[in-house]
Chains A and B, each alone.
Chain A
Amino acid sequence: MYPILRAQELTTNIFLMDVKARRVADSCLPGQFVIVRTQEDGERIPLTICDYDREEGTITIVFQIVGAGTFEMAKLKAGDSFHDVVGPLGRPSDLTEETPDELQKKRILFVAGGVGTAPVYPQVKWLKEQGVSADVIVGAKTKDLLILEEEMKAVAGNLYVTTDDGSYGRSGMVTKTIQDLVEQEGKQYDVCIAIGPMIMMKFVCKLTKELSIPTVVSLNPIMVDGTGMCGACRVTVGGEVKFACVDGPEFDGHLVNFDEAMQRQQIYKTEEGRAFLAAKEGATHHGGCGHCD
C-alpha cells in the first residue's frame, strides 16, 4: 500500500496528492510517470510525476477528473492509500542528459496547457536547480482552472499566463502567446517543450514548425501496463511505430502523427462515459445517455 500524505483540490476537478512511494522517489527524474491503482481490481491509470522528495520518499501527482477512474481517485483523502504505485516509467526528459553548461546556453520555452502544467513544473524546477531559467507559458481555459501559478513563478524565468476567455493574464490560446513572444517581443528559442491536451500540442507543433523551433511533446495515449508489453500506447513518430510508455512519453513533436494519436484516444470513449456516469450518479444513475435500459 502507498499512503497519501497530502490531498488537495487545486481547483475545480483538479487534485494534487503527495504519495509515499519510496522506490519511485529514489530513482525518478523529470519527464517520467507512474501508474496507479486506487483499489484492488481497479484500473491502471498513468500519471506524470509532478514533483518528488527523495528524503521523504514521496512523489507528487496532479490529476484532473476525466472519467470513472479519476473520479474515484479524487475521493481519496490524506491518510488513505493507493493500492498500487509503480514507476518511475518512461524515459526521463532529454534535458536531464545534458550538462548544466550545455543547458545554460539554451533558450528554452515551456508551453503548458491545463493540467499539463503539472508535468511541466518538475522540468522547470529541475532546470532552475541547474542554474537555467526557462520561459514558461501556462494556458488555461479560464482563470478558475489555472493551477500551480505561484509554484511555477518561483522556478520559471519569465512566466506568461494566458486564458482562453481572457479572464486572467493574456487572452487566447497558448499559440497566440508563442506567436506574440517571437514575432512581437523579439524572443528567440532553441527548443520548445509543450505538454497538454493532444490538440494543443498539435497546434503548438504546427506553429513552432513554421517558426523553426525544435519542439518536444509529452504524449498521453491509452496505456495498460506501462512497461512495453502490450502496445496499447503505440504512436507513429516519423513514420515509425513507437510505444509511448518505453520509447517516450517525450517525442519530437514535429514528427508525431497527432491525428492518429487523437483517434486512438477515442477507443473506449463510450464505455468510459457510461462508467463515469454510473460512478458519478451512483444510485441515482438512471440512464438517459441512450445506452441504459
Chain B
Amino acid sequence: MGDVWKKVPVREQDAKERAANFEEVCLGYDREEAVEEAQRCLNCKNAQCVKGCPVSIDIPGFIGKVKEGDIGGAYQVISESSALPAVCGRVCPQESQCEGKCIRGVRGEAVSIGKLERFVADWAREQGIRPEGAKEKKGKKVAVIGSGPAGLTCAGDLAKMGYDVTIFEALHEPGGVLVYGIPEFRLPKDEVVKKEIENVKSLGVEIETNVIVGKSVTIDELLGEEGYSAVFIGSGAGLPKFMGIPGENANGVFSANEYLTRSNLMKAFREDSPTPIMKSRKVAVVGGGNVAMDAARTALRLGAEVHIVYRRSEEELPARVEEVHHAKEEGIIFDLLTNPVEILEDEKGWVKGMTCVRMELGEPDASGRRRPVVIPGSEFTLELDTVIMALGTSPNPLISSTTKGLDTNKWKCIVASEEDGQTSKEGVFAGGDAVTGAATVILAMGAGKAGAKGIDEYLSKKA
C-alpha cells in the first residue's frame, strides 16, 4: 500500500516517444492499481464528489464495487447516470468537478475518480458488457439534433425510458466534438468513442447521419409530417472565431476547428489519408484553452515546432492543468503575455511570420480577471509558416434562424431552462453548448440528461 495521501500514479506513454505518435498518452490503471486507488475513498455519507458531478454519478457506490473487485457491478452503477463513462473518465476536468469536491483533497490528493471511472468503462468494454435498455416501449418518437455529448446523453436516457429516439447528425460520423475536436491521443476514436456510441445505439437509438437540420429538414417538419412528439437540440457551438487582424486569410492560417477536423475526423494525420493537412515547420497556436492545447499537440506530432501564443499569464490559461503539463512535457513552447497584431505574408500569400506585442496584466475587469494591457513599443516578429486560431467558438445560427418561435440571446445561444431544457417553442428542448456557448463535455451531458427528464415530463403530461 502506497501513501494514502497521494493518488496511485497512472502510467503514461513517455513524453519523447508520444510526441511523435498519435497513440493515447495516458495508459490508465490496471485492475490492481484501480482496487488500490479505490481503497483511498472514505465512502462519505454525504458525498460531496457526487454534487460536483454534472450527471450525479453515485461515485462512492461505484468505487465501493471496485474495492470489492466487482467491476461489472461498478459499471452498472455508473451506467445508471452516464452514457459515456469511457469518454468522461478521459476528458472531464475532474479537478474542478467531482475531484475538486473530494474530502481527501483537503489534506492530500483527491481520489482519482476520473481514472477509476475510465478503468471501469474500459474493463466493461473489453468484456463486451453493455448498458441495459428499456423494458417497456412508450410508442412515442423523439428527435435529437446533434450527436455530440448532449445529444447522445439525452438520446440514451430517453431510450432507457422507452421512447423511440432518432438522432440527426450533420457530419458523416456521430460523436460531435468527440470525433472531430478531441484528438486521438486523448480520446481514441475506434476503440473508445465508436464503442461508446455503439452502446447508445444498443439501447435502441437510431442515428441518421448527413442530415443538416435547418437545410435537409426543419424542426417544424420533424414535429409535423415526420411525426416526432418532441425535439431536443444539442447542436453545439461549432462556429469558429477569428481575430480580424490583417493577414488572417493568408495561406497557412487555420481555425483550430479546421485543423482538428482534418486531423481527427478526416484522419489527415495518417499518411494514407486522402484529406490533406499542412506539413508545417513552425506553428503558432493563438489561444490558451483545451482546444489550443489539442491543436498545438497535434501540430507537434505532425513534426512542427509549436508555440502557444496567449495574451494572459499561465495562471489564467483556461486549459486543464493536466493538458498544459502534458503539452510542456512534449516540448510545446509557451509564449505567454503575448498578443498577435498582424500575420505577415510572403509574395505568394503564404504565412511567413506574425507580429506580436507583449502584454502585462492590469486591473481586474468585471469578470474578476486581470485585463491584459499592451506594453508600448514591445512589438516583435515570430517567424512562422502556420498560424492556428483557437479563440473559441459560438453556436451556429442555422437552426435558430430556420425555426419559428425559437428565442435566442445576443450571443446567438438558444434560450432554454437549465432545469428541463424547455425552450420558447412548445415541444422543443435544448441543451449543451447550443445553449451555454462553448463549455465542457460533461456539462453538455448534464444538460442532455436534464433535457431527457424535461421531455419525459412534458410528454407524460400531454398524454
A interface, CB within 8 angstroms of B? 23-24, 26-27, 37, 41-44, 68-69, 72, 83-89, 224-225, 227-232, 234-236, 241, 246, 260, 263-264, 266-268, 271-272, 275
The reply to whether the CB of B50 lies closer than 8 angstroms to some CB of chain A is no
Taking a contact as CB atoms closer than 8 A, the residue among A23, A27, A86, A231 that contacts B258 in the complex is: A231
Chain A residue nearest in CB terms to B217: A23
Contact (Cβ within 8 A) A241 B242:
yes
- B contact residues around A234 at 8 Å (CB): 242, 249
Q: A69-B274, A89-B215, A232-B258 are in contact. Are A41 and B267 (CB under 8 A)?
A: yes
* Residues 249-276 of B at the A interface (beta carbon under 8 Å): 249, 251-252, 254-255, 257-258, 261-262, 266-267, 273-276
Residue pairs across A and B with CB atoms within 8 Å: the count is 113
- A-chain residues with CB within 8 Å of residue B266 when the two chains form the complex: 43-44, 224
Q: Which residues of B22-72 have CB atoms within 8 Å of chain A's CB atoms? A: none
Nearest-neighbor residue (CB-CB) of B215 within chain A: A88
Beyond the given A230-B261, A231-B257, could you list 19 further A-B residue pairs with CB under 8 A, ordered by the A residue number?
Answer: A23-B211, A24-B216, A27-B215, A41-B267, A41-B273, A43-B266, A84-B210, A86-B209, A86-B216, A224-B258, A224-B275, A227-B171, A228-B396, A229-B393, A229-B396, A231-B240, A235-B249, A241-B244, A260-B349
Interfacial chain B residues near A267, Cβ < 8 Å? 251-252, 278
Contacts of B249 in A (CB 8 A): 234-236, 241, 260, 264
The answer to whether B427 has its CB under 8 Å from any CB of chain A is no
Confirm or deny: B248 has a beta carbon within 8 angstroms of a beta carbon on chain A: yes
| Nearest residue, chain B, Cβ from A83 | B172
B209 contact set on A, CB distance < 8 A: 84, 86
Q: Which residues of A contact B172 (CB under 8 A)?
A: 37, 44, 83-84, 86
Bound complex: CA of A267 vs CA of B255, how far in Å? 15
Q: Are A227 and B170 neighbours in the complex by a CB distance under 8 Å?
A: yes
The answer, yes or no, to whether B459 is at the interface (CB within 8 Å) is: no
Q: Let me know if B398 is at the binding interface, CB within 8 A.
A: yes
Query: B residues within 8 A CB of A27?
Result: 215-217
The reply on B238 being an interface residue by CB < 8 A is yes
Q: Interface on chain B toward A: helix, strand, loop, or mixed SS?
A: loop
Contact A42-B274, Cβ < 8 Å, known A225-B171, A225-B261, A230-B255:
yes
Q: Does B107 contact A (CB under 8 A)?
A: no
Question: In the bound complex, do residue A230 and residue B251 qualify as a contact, i.e. CB atoms below 8 Å apart?
Answer: no
Which of A26, A85, A231, A246 has its CB near the most chain B CB atoms (within 10 A)?
A231
Q: Is B325 an interface residue (CB 8 A)?
A: no
Q: Which of A44, A87, A229 contacts B275 (CB 8 A)?
A: A44
B212 at the interface (CB under 8 A from A): yes
Asked if B239 lies at the interface with its beta carbon under 8 angstroms from chain A, I say: yes
Residue contact B274 to A228, C-beta cutoff 8 Å: no
Chain B 213-252 interface 0/1 with A at a Cβ cutoff of 8 Å (1 = within): 0011100000000000000000000111010100011011
| Cα A242 to Cα B239 with chains together (Å) | 12
- Chain B residues contacting A37 (CB-CB under 8 Å) are 172
Shortest distance between the CB of B85 and any CB in chain A (Å): 27
A89 neighbours in B (Cβ, 8 Å): 212, 215
* B348 beta carbon closer than 8 Å to chain A: yes
Q: Return chain A residues, CB-CB under 8 Å to B255.
A: 230-232
How far is it, in angstroms, between the C-alpha of A63 and the C-alpha of B353 when the chains are bound?
A: 37
Contact B239 A272 (CB under 8 A): no
A224 to B276, alpha carbons, bound, how many Å? 10
CB distance from B401 to the nearest CB of A (A): 10
* CB of A173 to closest CB in B, whole Å: 25
What is the chain A residue whose CB lies nearest that of B236?
A229
> Could you jot down 6 A-B contacts, CB within 8 Å?
A26-B216, A68-B274, A86-B171, A86-B216, A225-B170, A229-B257
Residues on A with C-beta less than 8 A from B216 are 23-24, 26-27, 86-88
9 interchain residue pairs of minimum CB distance: A230-B258, A229-B238, A86-B210, A263-B349, A84-B172, A268-B276, A271-B276, A23-B216, A43-B274
Contact A229 B239 (CB under 8 A): yes
Shortest distance between the CB of B437 and any CB in chain A (Å): 15
Q: Name the residue on A nearest B214 (C-beta).
A: A227
Residue of A whose beta carbon sits closest to that of B256: A230
Q: Which of B181-229 contact A (CB under 8 A)?
A: 209-212, 215-217
